Amino acid sequence: MPHVVVKLWPGPSEDQKARLAEAIVRSFVDTLHSSESSVSVAIEEVSPGEWMENVYRPEIAPNMARLYKKPGYDPF
């Protein structure tokens, strides 16, 4: 039962977010042979001013070894 949470800066339209969610679901179906009905996707907008405190420090930095795609930016 894959559940994906995408955190991004505000800006994308509702249509763009819906298309992103659809692409994520298709990727699970195609790559892992999941059933479409088993995949859920949430999208959370995080302001640039809150990114470091609410996303980078608690979720990205301490989990670098587990990230299959690491960020290409240096926040420091």
**pLDDT tens digit sequence for 23-52:** 999 999 999 999 999 999 999 999 999 999
Q: How many domains does the chain have?
A: 2
In angstroms, rounded to a whole number, what is the distance separating the alpha carbons of residues 47 and 52?
A: 10
Q: What percentage of the chain exceeds 90 in pLDDT?
A: 95
Q: What is the pLDDT of residue 52?
A: 96
State the residue range of the domain holding 7: 3-45
Q: Which residues are catalytic?
A: 2
Mean pLDDT score of the chain: 96
> Within this chain, do residues 54 and 73 fall inside the same structural domain, yes or no?
yes
> Within this chain, do residues 9 and 32 fall inside the same structural domain, yes or no?
yes
In angstroms, rounded to a whole number, what is the distance separating the alpha carbons of residues 3 and 41?
A: 6
> Within this chain, do residues 10 and 33 fall inside the same structural domain, yes or no?
yes
> Within this chain, do residues 11 and 28 fall inside the same structural domain, yes or no?
yes
| Two tokens, residue 56 | 């980078």
